[in-house]
Amino acid sequence: MKRALSAVLSLALMGLGGTALAAEDIVNTLHNLSSSAPVTNFYQTTSTASVCVFCHSPHTTTAAPKPLWNRGASAATYTMYNNTVSSTIDMTVEAQPVGVSLACLSCHDGTVAFDVLINGAGSGGFNPAGADQGWAWGVNGDLIANTRVTHLGNDLTGDHPISITYDNVADTAFNAAVAGKVGTLPLYTNRVECGSCHNPHEATNATFLRIANTASALCTTCHIK
């Protein structure tokens, strides 16, 4: 009886695990910059089939700005969306992007080549400052071009505020955060970052959104509008 119950339980758990695994599927997204991408992405190398290497390495990387991060950081100075830009910003904005936003901007500001990595694929190729792996790219090159809508550049005043401390007392038109999240959207050290709205591993919803923005459901998770 006991054994039958635990068999049922472990089947149920396997089922849950399977669902969670099926949800995140970076291989089938624009974030697969490797030769293993099943469809031809606009940006893709022929030099490696490794998917994770463009962002993570299992060893010898720095902890910042994100887990086991493998990319050389952008040296850019950004113009932030803050209360100089908009007088109705009530919350505190960092002087420069931090954390996961900095990680995203290491490609999306268009200044750091995709293959500038701390630890290249395979043995060797370790350079703590990040080094260009010299991989082969198609005619679109190894940088997000400023003709792409995905190019955010260094002026972030035309982009939703990031690296901003979520504070629904300073502005009461916001839902309360509970245990570091607003609804299911994560805050990072209580800040809104790129990762609050996007999951870089998952494109079930268009543009890697954490929740579908049907009837602006993403926006109204935070904004009371």
CB of residue 140 vs ligand HEC: minimum separation in angstroms?
Answer: 8
Q: How far is CA 139 from CA 40, 53, 114, 152, 165, in A?
A: 13, 22, 14, 21, 41
Q: Which helix (H) or strand (E) holds 206?
A: none
Cis peptide before 161, with omega less than 30 degrees from 0? no
| Closer Cβ to ligand HEC, 6 or 220, answer by number | 220
Residues that bind ligand HEC (CB under 6 A): 26, 30-31, 33, 42-43, 51-52, 54-56, 66-67, 86, 88-91, 100-101, 103-108, 114, 144, 148-150, 152, 160-162, 164, 166, 171, 182, 185, 192, 194-198, 200-201, 203, 206-209, 213, 218-219, 221-223
The DSSP output letter for 119 is E
Nearer to ligand HEC, 6 or 140 (CB): 140
Q: How far is CA 212 from the centre of its chain?
A: 16
CB of 192 to ligand HEC, least distance (A): 5
Rank residues 121 and 218 by Cβ distance to ligand HEC and give the closer one.
Answer: 218
CB nearer to ligand HEC: pick between 135 and 208? 208
Q: What is the DSSP letter of 91?
A: S
Q: How far is the CB of 58 from ligand HEC (least distance, A)?
A: 9
Task: Tell me whether residue 6 or residue 36 sits nearer to ligand HEC (CB atom).
Answer: 36
- One-letter amino acid of 179: A
Token pair listed for 39: 């469809």
d(CA 125, CA 119): 6
Q: What is the DSSP letter of 158?
A: G
In whole angstroms, the minimum distance from the beta carbon of 95 to ligand HEC comes to 15
